[in-house]
Amino acid sequence: PFPGLDFGPFSMAMSAILITWVLFDMQIMDFVPVNASIIFDAVADGMILLDARQKILAMNPTARRMLGESVEQAIGQSLDRIIPGAVRFSLTGTPPPERLEFRWGERFFELRRLQLTFRFRQPNGQLLVLTDVTPRKQSEMEREALIRQLQSSLAQSRALYRSSKAVI
């Protein structure tokens, strides 16, 4: 109806008003970004972040406390220099185990592996979760010792029964 009038700026202004109304009405602007390092450091289990070559990129304080490694010594080193036997968590070849139990001094640990994949679904890192399972392992060892002791007592009772039966 008006020659030479461009409706582009009016439609852009209306779109901006509508988008602003939707953003504030749905409270999308209230989201607060979470710093991943805060979560990484606050987890009760030990966490070790590895690259594709199994070099340590990061360790949370719990993992450092469990393994007794300082950050300066652990970062950049191969995983199997820090945890012997962990080379079985390799990214290449046959599917690696999802869990690995090992002994570190007087303590027992369980290492769980989470595969990290990014573009094109290619594995390019791992997150290892380290859990102290010493109380469980100690109770398992105590249970096995009791089972052996009971089996030995049972064998002695059977021998005694047989000998007393023979005497009677």
Give 76-106 pLDDT, tens digit per residue: 888 777 776 665 555 444 555 677 787 777 8
Is the overall model pTM greater than 0.75, yes or no? no
Give 1-40 pLDDT, tens digit per residue: 678 888 888 899 999 999 888 877 776 666 556 667 777 7
* Whole-angstrom distance, CA of residue 92 vs CA of residue 10: 58
Mean pLDDT, residues 145-154: 95
Mean pLDDT, residues 130-148: 92
* Whole-angstrom distance, CA of residue 67 vs CA of residue 83: 8
Q: How many residues does the chain have?
A: 168
The CA-to-CA distance between both ends of the chain, in Å, stands at 125
Share above pLDDT 90 across residues of the chain, in percent, rounded to a whole number = 23
pLDDT computed for residue 113 by the predictor: 84
Q: Virtual CA dihedral for 132, 108, 110, 83, nearest 10 degrees?
A: 110
The residue whose two tokens read 């779109």 is 15
